[in-house]
Chains A and B, each alone.
Chain A
Amino acid sequence: GAVVSQHPSRVICKSGTSVKIECRSLDFQATTMFWYRQFPKKSLMLMATSNEGSKATYEQGVEKDKFLINHASLTLSTLTVTSAHPEDSSFYICSAGAGGGGNEQFFGPGTRLTVL
């Protein structure tokens, strides 16, 4: 099946720094990538949808200036958490789809962010 990677898998940073998370589709071209956030023992919440070459579409309540998304190619999307604070600590998961409603999204392994 399709493989999606995320890097890094874990990151610990100081408050006020910015953190970049990469999401790559390794063996297919992803026209659309999705970014989710998951708090401990909670469900996955969609943060934004990114399409290659265009601006990301953010869900209501998600600060676009705080969570910068760049989908520069058909195999790479990045999420940058700017000026991170402890409340941004969470598990971030990306998924990639090849388009079409019948295709499932392929999920990355997730990135655990801890902001001290």
Chain B
Amino acid sequence: AQKVTQAQTEISVVEKEDVTLDCVYETRDTTYYLFWYKQPPSGELVFLIRRNSFDEQNEISGRYSWNFQKSTSSFNFTITASQVVDSAVYFCALRGSNYKLTFGKGTLLTVNP
């Protein structure tokens, strides 16, 4: 069975602070994919990143960076110099061999001006 745990239910920061959203996963598959999505108040899911299990290289995209640690089954997401527009619910998700996405419970990020 697959499981994704986002232990942080809510995080509140002040603009320009850095913030890290944690994600820990469980799977028996040797090949799997990890995702992060952003869900603003409008409800639409915005795709942020996909990582496959064989690629442990960290990735940076502008103010966003991701740290994939297979040894600890973690795929953490960091936003540097946060902005008010970053306020949203962020979901980490896992897809294994059955092609089904398993979502974490999400982390509500509030960035205050």
Cα(A1)–Cα(B47), bound, Å = 10
User: In the complex, which of the residues B33, B45, B106 contacts A93, with contact meaning CB atoms closer than 8 Å?
Assistant: B45
- Residue A104 CB within 8 A of the other chain: yes
A49 contacts which chain B residues (CB < 8 A)? 99-100
Residue among A43, A45, A112 facing the most chain B CB atoms (10 A cut-off): A43
A96 → chain B closest CB, angstroms:
12
How many A-B pairs have beta carbons closer than 8 Å: the answer is: 52
- Residue B35 CB within 8 A of the other chain: yes
Does A102 contact B33, Cβ atoms closer than 8 Å?
yes
B108 contacts which chain A residues (CB < 8 A)? 41
- Residue A67 CB within 8 A of the other chain: no
**What is the interface residue range for chain B against chain A?**
20 to 34
Does B99 contact A32, Cβ atoms closer than 8 Å?
yes
Q: Which residue on A lies nearest to B52, using beta carbons?
A: A102
**What is the interface residue range for chain A against chain B?**
20 to 34
With A43-B91, A44-B91, A91-B43 as known contacts, state yes or no: A104 contacts B50, CB within 8 Å: yes
Cα(A101)–Cα(B27), bound, Å = 15
A108 contacts which chain B residues (CB < 8 A)? 44
Cα(A108)–Cα(B95), bound, Å = 18
Does A110 contact B101, Cβ atoms closer than 8 Å?
no
User: In the complex, which of the residues B42, B50, B101 contacts A46, with contact meaning CB atoms closer than 8 Å?
Assistant: B101
Which residues of B25-52 have CB atoms within 8 Å of chain A's CB atoms? 31, 33, 35, 37, 42-45, 47, 50, 52
Contact sample, A vs B, 6 pairs, CB 8 Å cutoff: A1-B47, A34-B101, A91-B43, A97-B99, A104-B47, A112-B43
Beyond known contacts A1-B47, A42-B105: 9 more, CB 8 A cutoff? A49-B99, A91-B43, A93-B43, A95-B101, A101-B95, A104-B47, A105-B101, A108-B44, A109-B42
Which 6 pairs from chain A and chain B are nearest by CB?
A107-B45, A109-B44, A110-B43, A43-B105, A43-B103, A44-B103
Q: Which B positions have Cβ atoms within 8 angstroms of A?
A: 31, 33, 35, 37, 42-45, 47, 50, 52, 91, 95, 97, 99-106, 108
